[in-house]
Amino acid sequence: MQSNEQSKLLLEVVTRYSQSIDEATLGYLEGRGISKQVADQFMLGTVVDPAPGHEQFEGWLSIPYITALGMAVSVKFRRLDDGKPKYGQPTGQKLHLYNVADVAVDSSHIVVTEGELDAVIISGILGIPAVGVPGVAAWKPYYAKLMTGFDTVYVVGDNDLKEDGTNPGAEFSKRVASEIINSHIVQLPLGMDINEFYLQHGPTELSTLLGGVK
């Protein structure tokens, strides 16, 4: 378990990255429909003067995992070009639920997305409580307990049908929904994730897809 001192040090690091967000990162985010105001809300930033263990991610987008109490428990990184791998994280870092603070929002519903930036769009732009899980492997059974008390839990995985016939996003949705009471799977058009749907159809249609919730 991460100590309070480790959390404090990590918070200082991700705060520095957030305050140092550069034009390249802002351009990448704006291309995904995320404004600087929303980026600041979620402390998204640019890895500059990397902390120990972050050197290989210099210049990448930083995505911190912040709790409801304002503690930094982990950080993910996303490269801005088309290189592989697209995402990275420090060696040995434990998995967490992204934007977990939204679990404490007074609401009858919440959205579970496949990925951090999709949660940013739902929560930061639409104003609908949302948490992010980066894929099936990152889902932990005890996360389901955090959803207790919501009338409806909307589960939205990517609709990414592969050449071999598999659909990891559909697998994600089925796995998560099977473990959450009052869950409802939202199916996106073929080949789309939340971000792509938002860019193509806008916030109103995305909200309608989620049952018109506010």
Q: Residues of the chain with pLDDT > 90: what percent?
A: 84
pLDDT tens for residues 70-127?
Answer: 999 999 999 999 899 999 999 999 889 999 999 999 999 999 999 999 999 999 999 9
Q: Is 136 helix (H, G, I), strand (E, B) or coil?
A: helix
- Identify how many contiguous H helices and E strands the chain contains and give both numbers: 7, 8
Instruction: Please answer whether residues 33 and 199 qualify as being in contact, where contact means their C-beta atoms are separated by less than 8 angstroms.
Output: yes
Position 160 scores a pLDDT of 86
Q: List, in sequence order, every beta strand (DSSP E) within 33-156.
A: 45-46, 61-66, 72-78, 87-88, 109-113, 130-132, 152-156
d(CA 70, CA 167): 35
Peptide bond into 129 cis (omega under 30): no
Residue for token pair 């100590």: 3
